[in-house]
Amino acid sequence: MQRLRDGVVTTYSAERGVITAASQHADTALAAAELAQVLRHDHLGFVLFFCSAEYDLAALADALESCFPTTPLSGCTTAGEITPLGYDRGSIVAIGFDRRFFAIETALIDDLDHFELANAQRLVDTLLGRCRQQALAPINEHSFALTLLDGLSSREEQVLATLDAALGRIPSFGGSAGDDNHLSHTHVYIAGRFHTRAAVVVMINTRLPFEVFSTHHLTPLNHKLVVTDADREQRRVIELNGLPAAQVYADLVGVAPEQLSAAIFARHPVAVHIGGQHYVRSIQRVNSDRSLSFYCAVENGIVLTAMQPTPLLDNLEAMLAGVRARLGSPSVIIGCDCFLRRMELEGLQQLDQASQLLRQSSVVGFNTYGEQHHGMHVNQTFTGVAFGSLPAND
């Protein structure tokens, strides 16, 4: 793929209310300085960033805060970045929001285990109240929530369901933070530091037209697997069809259990079928006891349907074309792209082609450990928000 030249790349869309920038510098101070050089201007109101988990996060936090002393920042660690040039690794990508177009307020949920509806309602009310004070655009129809969750917290479903109930008609989407497939520590960033076992809610109220979307390229096969033993707290499936889960899954895809890998999981996903739709439940890893850990909630008695991929690029291209048809050429798209999709693209050697598609549609974002869409925690999707432009006479 095309590498970033001189460490920093940028797209200027100042007249459209957003500027995007990325830096390849491993040095946190240099990376932050490069972002600041591009993003800082008189009307910068908020910065959203996605960074590689390889960074010294404490140093990065200090560097970012000293480069953006008066601007609120939020972000998370990734399993790969989508910069203005396409897919990348080991970098940091950032989006600067112009306060003349965006009223943005953020909140931290640091106790994921006790996030009750009352907390959610208070949080949403506070955020909307602060957005309303900026009197930029009506709240209804002009706001959405972006959620960034610790991808290894195993609390996404409850937090999202609770938050979604409080958000009511306000659309939401987001991603679970990654850590370059180490599956050890994922972080979200708010108020000057990185947090684990936490979530960040970013309320965005904007004058720009926008559309929250989610797409995937998987279709169901006939095979069904019934979860006959599960550890719901650990998101672990111990048994499928009354046999060790890894064995049954390996038989299904036709490999030996010891050959199971993320690449296999990406190419042979399983999904639950609810209300006429299939929702992929991605497998995270095989455990030594031949159980399977998942990236999302599982339960005893759920029926998993074997899925197969259709051409990913075709699906991505069609989705982006649809967005263009409805919104016009997007000023920016923030994408939460499941890292398993990236893995599939790498396996098929289609990463450069995908990068080109993303670049053409001004997509920036990151590879996730799970995506969030309207309160649902989903896997193996490309979920995000596309911003259009203001009509010329506005």
Partner 1 sequence: MDLFQLTTNADTAEHSDALDTAALREENRRLHRVCQALMERVETGGSADGAPYAAFERSVLLAEQVRERTEALHRALDELGQVNTRLLAAKAEAEAANLSKTKFLAAVSHDLLQPLNAARLFASALETHALPDTSQTLVGHIGRSLKDVEGLLGTLVDISRLDAGVLHADKAPFAVSTLLDALAEEYRQVAGVRGLALHYVPSSALIESDLALLARVIRNFLSNAVRYTEQGRVLLGCRRRREGLEIMVGDTGPGIPEQQREAIFLEFRRANQPQGAHSRGLGLGLAIVDRISTMLEHPISLVSRPGVGALFSITVPYAAATAITSVPSTRYALLAEEAQDPLHGCVVWVIDDDLAIIEGMQALLSSWGCRVRAAATVSALEAASDGEQPAVLLVDYHLGEHRETGIDLAARLQRRYPGLASVVITANHEAEIKRATREAGMHCLLKPLKPLRLRMLLSSLLNKY
Interacting residue ranges for partner 1, rule: CB under 8 A: 154-158, 160-162, 164, 222-229, 232, 235, 239, 241-243, 248, 251-252, 274-277, 279, 296-303, 373-377
Helices and strands: H and E segment counts in the chain: 9, 27
Pairwise CA distance, residues 173 & 237, whole Å: 27
Least separation, in Å, of the C-beta of 173 and partner 1?
12
Give the pair of three-digit tokens for residue 69: 């002393």
Least separation, in Å, of the C-beta of 228 and partner 1?
4
* CA–CA distances in Å: residue 14 to residues 39, 110, 271, 373, 383: 10, 34, 41, 28, 24
| Angle at the Cα of 336 from the Cα atoms of 202 and 17, rounded to 5 degrees | 55
Pairwise CA distance, residues 260 & 195, whole Å: 32
Contact at 8 Å (CB) between 11 and 331?
no
Rg (CA), the chain: 20
* CA–CA distances in Å: residue 125 to residues 73, 156, 170, 323: 21, 21, 12, 30
Least separation, in Å, of the C-beta of 299 and partner 1?
4
Contact at 8 Å (CB) between 14 and 98?
yes
Least separation, in Å, of the C-beta of 242 and partner 1?
3
32 versus 160: smaller Cβ distance to partner 1: 160
Least separation, in Å, of the C-beta of 373 and partner 1?
8
Pairwise CA distance, residues 80 & 181, whole Å: 9
Pairwise CA distance, residues 91 & 82, whole Å: 9
69 versus 254: smaller Cβ distance to partner 1: 254
108 versus 252: smaller Cβ distance to partner 1: 252
- What are the residues whose beta carbons fall under 8 Å from the beta carbon of 47, sequence distance 6 or more? 35, 39, 68, 71, 72, 73, 74, 75, 94, 95, 96, 97
Burial 243-270 (b: 16+ CB within 10 A, else e): ebbbbbbbebeeeeeeebebebbbbbbb
69 versus 301: smaller Cβ distance to partner 1: 301
303 versus 321: smaller Cβ distance to partner 1: 303
58 versus 165: smaller Cβ distance to partner 1: 165
Closest CA to 159 of 111, 207, 195: 111
233 versus 258: smaller Cβ distance to partner 1: 233
Q: Please, what is the end-to-end C-alpha distance for the chain in angstroms?
A: 39
80 versus 370: smaller Cβ distance to partner 1: 370
Pairwise CA distance, residues 67 & 356, whole Å: 31
Least separation, in Å, of the C-beta of 296 and partner 1?
7
Least separation, in Å, of the C-beta of 295 and partner 1?
12
Contact at 8 Å (CB) between 300 and 227?
yes
Least separation, in Å, of the C-beta of 263 and partner 1?
23
- What are the residues whose beta carbons fall under 8 Å from the beta carbon of 314, sequence distance 6 or more? 217
Give the pair of three-digit tokens for residue 163: 């938050």
274 versus 318: smaller Cβ distance to partner 1: 274
Least separation, in Å, of the C-beta of 340 and partner 1?
18
Least separation, in Å, of the C-beta of 172 and partner 1?
11
306 versus 390: smaller Cβ distance to partner 1: 306
